[in-house]
Amino acid sequence: MLKPKQKYTQKKADKFLGRRKLIFALMICAVVSLVLKAAQLQLLDTQFLQKEARARHAGSVKLAAYRGRIKDRHGESLAVSAPVKTISANPQYCRLKKGEKPNKRCLQLNKEKLKQLASLLSLPLAKVEKAFDTKSHKQFVYLKKRVDPFLTQQVKNLKLPGVQYESAFKRFYPSGEETAHLLGFTNMSDQGQEGLELQYNSTLQGIAGSKRVIRDGTRRAIAHDVESIKEPVAGQDLILSIDERLQYLAYRELKTGFVKNQAKAATLVMLEAETGNILAMVNQPSFNPNTRKRLNKSIYRNKAVTDQFEPGSTVKPLVVAAALEGGYITDDQLFTTEPMRLNRRTVRDGHHYGTLTLGGVLKKSSNVAATKIALSMPPEYFWNFYYSVGFGRSPGLRFPSETSGALPDYTGWSNFEHATLSFGYHLAVSALQLARAYTIFADDGLLHSVSLLKREHDDYAERIISPEVAIKVRTMIEEVVKKGGTAQRARVSGYRVAGKTGTAKKSGKGGYTDDYLSIFVGMAPASDPKLIIVVMVDSPQAGEYYGGQVAGPIFSKVMGGALRILKIAPDEEQSMSVLLSKD
């Protein structure tokens, strides 16, 4: 029998042994739990864990597609894309978590390096400091988009923490202002915003690709690439009908005339007479699509296609052609030009011309005679003829904001409204529509469709008038540029030129203003026309304002230069005899 002290000692020992057994049992349970958990993770949850790991450390990055080039008809690049980088920063990169050691690059980050970065990227120092502020809650801040490779390398040399570089492309326009209105431009995301860049954006932009990447342990930066998911598909090239040589010539001479005449604006369109291909299309004032800083959006418009104006006397050859084709007048008919009263309003000429032949009507640009010719035709027939040459309907380019012009319905015309249509008021056209209408004279009665894409033939040409009428009218408007005509300054040495002037008052609030539109449309060589050019100068302020005085000289320089560039033989008899005598 145990003594009380021994009983106490035995009881204490049993209690200690029980605790040891409990602890041992708990340890066994813990080990078993760990083994079971490990087995679960290794055998049952493998796919889930791998998916989570990929989600946390693996990701995909978009690969930009190369945007197709825009080229002229000879393959000269007018718009190209160059590889660039978009530079961004992660403010959280140098933010330390509990127990985390600072990154070596973070330790080397100082204000001097941030100043260097700000200087390289032309950014305010405050913006750069904010991009690296670890107190920020942001994980992504753009520093600079579309940085060229040379500058990107200089930034990389700074070895700044948390800076990432995303590949992209930047659009460049080698011809600058020459083609600005025609080509338009892209935005920071390389999407077309104006002009052909917008019209053919889906063709040019291509299809973006992607690649899989692994991020570092902090998930703050890309450690390395893993694999390509989808290769980017480059956009298609666009081959234009434009001839870069003629485009530059037109740009240079139009700008010279624009400045000389102190004009508000100016437009020029050049067509290939036998195909309707647009060889040049320029506007003033222009802009540099490579910079585009602080410019009014209105300056981006391609006014040759988007803006309409009253064409003035340039429509008179069309009136004559319509009347001859319909048999309402004869080519030997005479016209008196005394002022006429119509609906309490008077139609008169700027000078007294007496009696004119049909050719004289166009040479002197008589409003009275044009009125008599127009009134000889029924309104419906007259309207249909204008519509058939493209007035009042779209030229069909599908260019952004392309205008259809304005051609009022013939029902309800007064005699005076009927008359004004014969000398270019009460309707509106674009420069392109006017150039297109004149293809009926240049190609012996065929109206051509127009195109900004290179093509060898026009499969959509329509016969509007007979070849006989077309040649008669073309011969008549040759006299316009000769002595006594309204456009002697539009002559081109060595070539026969056929064309017509237009001088139209601009409409404004409450009626017509004292500003003018100076217009000339012509073709050469007149014996077998190859080129058609329309020149329109808006509000010349240097003193002269008649179409022959302002637009005529611009036409002469552009047409003369273009004929020589294209090596089109002279057709003027005197020049031909000189050439033959040299042989």
Q: Which residue reads 């002229």 in tokens?
A: 72
Say if CB 550 and CB 556 are below 8 A apart.
no
Q: Distance between CA atoms of 192 and 186, rounded to whole angstroms?
A: 4
- Between β-strands 70-71 and 238-239, what pairing exists: parallel, antiparallel or unpaired? parallel
Helices 316-326, 367-375: axis angle to 10 degrees equals 30
Q: Which residue type does 127 have?
A: K
The H-assigned helical ranges of 205-326 are 244-260, 303-306, 316-326
**DSSP letter, residue 294:** S
In angstroms, the CA 164 to CA 59 distance is: 15
> Residue holding tokens 């904001």?
401
198/193 Cα distance (integer angstroms): 5
Q: Residue 571's closest CA among 525, 522, 529? A: 525
Query: Across 173-273, where does the E strand assignment appear?
Result: 209-215, 222-230, 238-239, 265-272
Return the DSSP state at 514. E
114 close to 94: Cβ distance less than 8 angstroms: no
8 Å CB contact between 130 and 136: yes
Which of the residues 175, 313, 366, 539 is marked catalytic? 313
Which residue's structure tokens are 């990701």? 59
User: What values do phi and psi take at 580, rounded to 5?
Assistant: -70, -35
The token duo for 459 is 């499969």
Q: Which DSSP string do the residues of 386-435 spell out, in sequence order?
A: HHHTTTTS--S---TT----B---STT--HHHHHHGGGT-S-BB-HHHHH
Contacts with 36 (C-beta within 8 Å, 6 or more apart), sequence order: none
Torsion of the alpha carbons at 19, 21, 27 and 28, rounded to the nearest 10: -160
313 noted as active-site residue? yes
Q: How many CB atoms lie within 10 A of CB 213?
A: 16
Q: What are phi and psi of 492, to 5 degrees?
A: -125, 120
Q: Which residues pair with 77 in a beta bridge?
A: 71
Which residues lie closer than 8 Å to 195 by C-beta, 6 or more apart?
181, 182, 183, 184, 185, 300, 302, 399, 400
AA identity, residue 539: S
Query: What 3-state class would DSSP assign to 443?
Result: coil
401 vs 297: CA distance, rounded Å: 13
Q: How far, in Å, CA of 386 to CA of 420, rounded? A: 13
User: Beta strand 340-342 with 345-347: parallel, antiparallel or unpaired?
Assistant: antiparallel
Active-site amino acid positions: 313
